[in-house]
Structure 1
Amino acid sequence: MNAHEQEHMWSTRYRDAGQDYVFGTTPNRFLAAQSARLASGSNALSVADGEGRNAVWLAEQGLQVTATEISPVALEKARKLAAGRHVDVDFVLADAVAWDYPEAAFDFVVGIFIQFADPVQRERMFAGMARALRPGGHLIVQGYAPKQLEYRTGGPSAVENLYTADLLRTAFPGLEIVHLQEYEDVLDEGVGHKGQSALVGLVARKPAA
């Protein structure tokens, strides 16, 4: 699916939800579990952030946050969420695959359920995310595992877009794995992610220079 088709699909989904937030307004649980790593005053990039729930939460932790998102409808809702929670986020309208990721610009790079990307797009996006990390910075990624196709409680229908621990172990050469697990949990993230789920979580660190 190209960028135009992605934008149309996601904008339609977010628009059809009306005032509701498709994936809720609370942060992803795996991301929130990393709160002890998030040093106040540092900065973070949230990739393909959707309606803002993760970026807003990161800003509430005291970080300066940049969030990319391809859907202008989602960004409008994200800005509303940030205003309601009294935080500032730099929301950027951008295709997460083709965006020009700045080099060594962020202490944290976050990708939560960014599995719209096929393997070719994923390789390009992951390379950009790694490039954007400063030395000593942390990458935080959460995604669905292939068993999710049995649960059908969220995520893509294409198995090649799903993650395994082995895939993530080799996807970021040059980063040191801090935490990597495949596990199951019951998600309650709006109507978009709801129910028993097969998940993968990764925290990796770019070695200090």
Structure 2
Amino acid sequence: MTEWDQRFNEKEFIYGKDVNEFIRDHYDYIEEGGHIGCFAEGEGRNAVFLAKEGHPVTAYEQSEVGIDKMNRLAEEQEVYVEGVQMDLTKDPVGEEVYDGAVMVFGHVPKEDQQYLMDNIRASVKPGGAILLEVYSEDQLAYKTGGPPDTEAMYRPEDMLQWFREDKILHFYYGEAERVEGSRHTGLGHVIQLIAVKASA
């Protein structure tokens, strides 16, 4: 059983069942009815919300336990989400598959972050929107969620570099209140990005 399988292997949804606030407020940057890729989707809260809003959704998650819980949540909400078990830091998703992409708090070691972001970006068609919210390195001082050290946190300059070719519609580096299950509770420090992928 992997580390994430162990974390998700609880009856409760450790990050809750409700969509992330940033995604809820901004998902309409993705075209209506467009196919969305959800990356590092955990227990499925964002994917299920987007499916309820009428989007075809494919959700990627490394943990089999996470995907099982996502399937349960989708069934509970009477929607369908395609779940794919994959290590997004090693395996390519595919080129220009989705009309938009979403990732919330998908934290991986520094050496894997560019591959993950390139993977997400490559999967989106030109003109598609990419929405990301992650913890910054400053989150460590807040102790309200996220990895236990800065190794898997993100830097704003890296994020801007990874999406330098695209049209950035929104970029935020600062505090945000998040109450998401038992693992994200209170004021934290985040990086948010909304980018429209450049045409080739």
Shorter-chain TM-score: what band?
A: over 0.9
What secondary structure is seen at the aligned counterpart in 1 of 2:187? Answer: strand
* Separation in structure 2 between the aligned mates of residue 76 and residue 179 of structure 1, nearest angstrom: 33
What secondary structure is seen at the aligned counterpart in 2 of 1:111? Answer: strand
Please name the residue that 2:8 is paired with. Answer: 14
Amino acid at match of 1:162: M
Please name the residue that 1:121 is paired with. Answer: 112
* Separation in structure 2 between the aligned mates of residue 27 and residue 199 of structure 1, nearest angstrom: 16
Residue 13 of structure 1 and its aligned partner are, at CA, apart by 1.1
| Aligned sequence identity (%) | 29
Determine which of 109, 120, 135 is the counterpart of 2:101. 109
Q: TM-score, normalised by structure 1?
A: 0.91
Kindly indicate whether the alpha-carbon contact (under 8 Å) linking 1:146 and 1:162 is maintained by their aligned counterparts in 2.
yes
Please name the residue that 1:51 is paired with. Answer: 43
Determine which of 164, 168, 176 is the counterpart of 1:177. 168
Please name the residue that 1:148 is paired with. Answer: 139
Q: For 1:91-106, list aligned pairs within 5 A.
A: 91-106=83-98
Please name the residue that 1:3 is paired with. Answer: none
Amino acid at match of 1:123: Q
Residue 84 of structure 1 and its aligned partner are, at CA, apart by 0.6
Please name the residue that 1:42 is paired with. Answer: 34
TM superposition outliers: structure 1 runs of 4+ over 3 Å: none
Gaps of 5+ in 2: none
Q: For 1:10-89, list aligned pairs within 5 A.
A: 10-15=4-9, 17-18=10-11, 20-89=12-81
Name the count of aligned residue pairs: 200
What secondary structure is seen at the aligned counterpart in 1 of 2:2? Answer: helix
Alpha-carbon RMSD:
1.3
Q: TM-score, normalised by structure 2?
A: 0.95
